[in-house]
Amino acid sequence: MKLTQGEKSERSQGAILQAALRLFSKQGYRGTSIREIALEAGLSTGNVYHHFPDKEALFTTLLGQYWQAIEQPDFPFNKALAAGAFPDDLEALARAAEESVRIYRPYVDLIYIDVVEFEGTHIRKFYTGMSERFSSFLNHRFPGDALKDRMAPGFHPNTALMLVSRVFLQYFAVEILFGVPNQFGMDTPLAMAEISQILRAGMFRQEALPPGKP
């Protein structure tokens, strides 16, 4: 097979990034050397520096890939949102969260790596922007007061969306990344059902709500 120069370059860069992602997600940033990356990518260390200015550029490029994937409509969690899983089908949202974490697992690792080894520098803006992204989604999806009329009073609908997203995504981060099965003391589908139930209708019986709260 004959490869044009541009194809060769692209293929090498892809191999480098792929290897870097695999190794970073397993060993962390400082725990992974350029030599390992080059070896796994099947080329020399010098060549890595031909395609990328330094080690950190590998990391930030990978974070950029994840950033882009997260905003794509075919990102599992976005797909579930677009399909109307919120607010009625929280279980579907939970399944989408699981799929998102499972498929993008090595990328999710990068977030934790950034917190530990870069003091959260790169991913801070991602967490900062999450609320605004959800908010603008809700405004487009539920114009007017259609959603607010179905919601209980005392909170913004966006708080509910943020809450359920965080709960589900964190649950599967702990299950998949941390490697903890049955963290709630029951199997995952049951835990998802019970959590969804609480988020929908609250933990108290209606007649047993504590007094003095709005």
Partner DNA sequence: TATTTGACCAACCGACCGTTCGTTTTTTAA
Partner DNA sequence: TTAAAAAACGAACGGTCGGTTGGTCAAATA
The residues in 69-98 that bind its own copies, with binding defined as CB under 8 A, are 87-89
> 71 CB contacts (<8 Å, ≥6 apart)?
78, 133
User: For residues 19-78, which are near DNA according to CB under 7 A?
Assistant: 30, 32-36, 42-47, 49-51, 54-56
203: number of Cβ within 10 Å = 9
Long-range contacts, 20-26 (Cβ 8 Å, 24+): 20/58, 20/59, 20/62, 21/62, 21/106, 21/107, 21/110, 22/106, 24/58, 24/59, 24/62, 24/106, 24/109, 24/110, 24/113, 25/105, 25/106, 25/107, 25/109, 25/110, 25/113
Q: Does 203 bind its own copies (CB under 8 A)?
A: yes
**Residue from 18, 34, 76, 112 binding its own copies (CB under 8 A):** 112
Least distance CB 8 / its own copies (angstroms): 33
Least distance CB 10 / its own copies (angstroms): 30
Candidate ranges 6-14, 133-141, 165-173, 206-214; the one touching DNA (CB under 7 A): 6-14
Overall residue count recorded for the chain in this entry: 214
* Residue nearer to DNA on the CB measure, 15 or 160: 15
**Residue from 8, 141, 152, 189 binding its own copies (CB under 8 A):** 152
Candidate ranges 5-13, 66-74, 94-102, 194-202; the one touching DNA (CB under 7 A): 5-13
